[in-house]
């Protein structure tokens, strides 16, 4: 079968590899659409980093070294069921929760498998990937999406990231939340908040991204922090109280600082962004307002609820798809295209 395999920095190849065999307890899927993710871009342009293995050091759970099949945000159609698999039928439309976990560390035993001590990702750490003609995965990671279109279903994975972040804070309908950064995860986080009835303030320096946020309808208030004082705006909107929660989806110090200052007493800052440099904390502000700062990684038990939000019509994923490409020339049509058009693109999805 054909697959896109990752070898390292700026090196992905379309190759013919052996088709995987169904084993007891597993499901063979024909991938339909695969989303291109920020982590894919980091691996492609910056080179090998965990949880990807190297050419010499295998991932501790998959046992694979580079090259590995790429693609962890994907939808597909069930082709074959392994012995003992229940609750699925051939032809079902599904998405895959692309985790590789040990089930033995303290986090896994507590149900927090997203922070497994040896955690990896299908499509990054081994065990196949969405950028292939076939993949075999454990039944536990396969989620039915019903009549949800398969192109939209490819966005369930990043939606689950956003949902996990929102579910990790104390926020309810009628509260005010600030989202710093209107990239894909920031926009999806705002969409989840809106679906929960939260008044949402989106802060973004890019005019193009602010326009996208407005078009998607995910922000009640959209602010350019270079032109409008975000903190003053939030206090104005909340009668001087401050926001209940804030979400850092940007990963830069100025956003981190502004979000802290925008919070009410005992408010919570949730970090979803990856930082290339460790941010500095304003401890005085944290102490005198009793702020909570927390972080959210990936998802655990979130794919099912994310699917339901979409199927119930509370979130429309179709407008988040801004480009559809063939995976045959993914380096140019995918990664280079995204880097050169990052402000105007929300989600690019690829098909083998």
Write out the two tokens for 344: 């105007």
Cα–Cα distance between 189 and 78 in angstroms, integer?
Answer: 29
> pLDDT band for position 245 (50/70/90)?
very high
pLDDT at residue 30, rounded to an integer:
98
Q: How many residues does the chain have?
A: 352
Task: Tell me the pLDDT tens digit for each residue of 150-197.
Answer: 999 999 999 999 999 999 999 999 999 999 999 999 999 999 999 999
pLDDT at residue 248, rounded to an integer:
98
Instruction: Report helix angle 156-167 to 184-195, nearest 10.
Output: 60
Res. 282: pLDDT tops 90:
no
> pLDDT band for position 301 (50/70/90)?
very high
CA dihedral (200, 203, 204, 210) positive or negative: positive
pLDDT at residue 277, rounded to an integer:
86
DSSP code, position 126: B
Summarize the confidence of residues 254-264 as an average pLDDT: 97
How confident is the prediction for the chain on average, in pLDDT? 97
Summarize the confidence of residues 112-129 as an average pLDDT: 98
Res. 276: pLDDT tops 90:
no
pLDDT at residue 191, rounded to an integer:
98
pLDDT at residue 285, rounded to an integer:
85
Task: Tell me the pLDDT tens digit for each residue of 200-237.
Answer: 999 999 999 999 999 999 999 999 999 999 999 999 99
Torsion of CA 323, 351, 143, 85, to 10 degrees: 180
pLDDT at residue 281, rounded to an integer:
87
pLDDT at residue 324, rounded to an integer:
97
> pLDDT band for position 261 (50/70/90)?
very high
Q: Determine how many CB atoms are found less than 10 A away from the CB of residue 173.
A: 9
Cα–Cα distance between 316 and 310 in angstroms, integer?
Answer: 6
Q: Which residues contact 23 (CB under 8 A, 6 or more apart)?
A: 82, 136
Summarize the confidence of residues 260-273 as an average pLDDT: 97
Task: Tell me the pLDDT tens digit for each residue of 40-94.
Answer: 999 999 999 999 999 999 999 999 999 999 999 999 999 999 999 999 999 999 9
């Amino acid at each position: 079968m054909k697959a896109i395999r990752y070898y390292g920095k700026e090196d992905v190849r379309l190759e013919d590899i052996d088709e995987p065999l169904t084993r007891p307890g597993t499901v063979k899927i024909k991938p339909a659409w695969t989303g291109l993710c920020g982590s894919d871009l980091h691996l492609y342009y910056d080179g090998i980093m965990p949880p990807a293995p190297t050419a010499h050091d295998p991932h501790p759970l998959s046992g694979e070294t580079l090259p590995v099949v790429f693609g962890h945000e994907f939808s597909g159609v069930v082709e074959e069921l392994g012995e003992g698999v229940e609750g699925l039928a051939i032809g079902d439309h599904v998405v895959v929760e692309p985790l590789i976990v040990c089930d033995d560390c303290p986090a896994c035993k507590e149900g927090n498998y997203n922070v497994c001590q040896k955690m990896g990702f299908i499509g990054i750490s081994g065990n196949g990937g969405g950028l292939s003609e076939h993949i075999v995965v454990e039944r536990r990671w396969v989620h039915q999406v019903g009549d949800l279109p398969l192109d939209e279903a490819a966005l369930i994975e990043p939606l689950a990231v956003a949902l996990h972040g929102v579910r990790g804070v104390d926020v309810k309908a009628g509260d005010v939340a600030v989202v710093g950064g209107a990239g894909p995860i920031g926009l999806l986080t705002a969409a989840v908040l809106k679906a929960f009835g939260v008044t949402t303030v989106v802060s973004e320096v890019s005019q193009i991204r602010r326009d996208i946020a407005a078009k998607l309808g995910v922000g009640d208030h959209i602010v350019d922090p270079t032109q409008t004082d975000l903190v003053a705006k939030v206090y104005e909107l909340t009668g001087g109280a401050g926001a209940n929660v804030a979400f850092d989806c940007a990963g830069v110090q100025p956003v981190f600082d502004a979000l802290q200052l925008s919070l009410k007493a005992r408010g919570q800052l949730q970090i979803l962004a990856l930082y290339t440099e460790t941010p500095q904390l304003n401890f005085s502000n944290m102490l005198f307002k009793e702020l909570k700062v927390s972080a959210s990684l990936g998802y655990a038990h979130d794919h099912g609820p994310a699917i339901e939000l979409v199927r119930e019509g509370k979130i429309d994923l179709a407008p988040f798809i801004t480009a559809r490409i063939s995976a045959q020339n993914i380096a140019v049509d995918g990664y280079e295209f995204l880097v050169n058009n990052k402000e105007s693109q929300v989600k690019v999805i690829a098909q083998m």
